[in-house]
Amino acid sequence: MRKKTLIILQLFFLFFVTSVVLGCGTTGFTSNKEGKSPMLKPESASPPAASGKGVSMRVLWTVSRYVITPDAQWQKEDAQKLLFKPLDITATSITFNGKTCRDVIFKKEKANTKEYLANIFHTTPQALGIEEEIIEVIKTNCDLPGFDRYMRLKYGRLAICINGVFFFFEPAMNY
């Protein structure tokens, strides 16, 4: 019995010290926009950004490599100019190489990689270094070269084709 009491006192002391060191904080209730059931909101929470959307965190991509196909209309020098160029895609826009498409509509579909590359680009996954058997193809109404249709690969990577050159984008976090 004495051992049990000692454990309870130690736990209470640990809780008390933790509360003092970290602070208890205060919370209040606020209704959501529709006036429905209240949700818990810490009073110490920082206010939203001036835009009213809060802090955003988007994935940006950069061109990390390229593959020139045998029937490419571009030379190595042309392809190298796009290395490390950033790509920004939002819900309604695509920005690449200093140009932006606005009011973009995205249509996603799955495709067999081997069949898709053979039918659309007359190449193979092996020639491009793509290991995925299934890829996501995103078709858009964007007129930027390579973005009328592009491929989403594993690990957030993207691939586009411009004049017979495939460019591969690696994601990078933007805080």
In a domain, 96, yes or no: yes
Strands 165-174 and 99-102: unpaired
In a domain, 11, yes or no: no
Nearest to 149 by CA among 158, 102, 134, 157: 158
Given CA atoms 72, 78, 81, 85 in this order, what sign does their dihedral have?
Answer: negative
| E strand map for 31-105 | 39-42, 58-68, 86-89, 93-96, 99-102
Question: What's the number of domains the chain is made of?
Answer: 1
For 112, the domain range is 58-174
In a domain, 7, yes or no: no
The Cβ of residue 151 has, within 10 Å, a number of other Cβ atoms equal to 24
In a domain, 44, yes or no: no
pLDDT value of position 89 = 95
Q: Which tens digits make up the pLDDT trace of 65-82? A: 999 999 999 999 999 999
Q: Which tens digits make up the pLDDT trace of 80-129? A: 999 999 999 999 999 999 999 999 999 999 999 999 999 999 999 999 99
Give the distance, in angstroms, between the CA of residue 112 and the centroid of all CA atoms in the same chain: 23
What is the pTM assigned to this prediction?
0.66
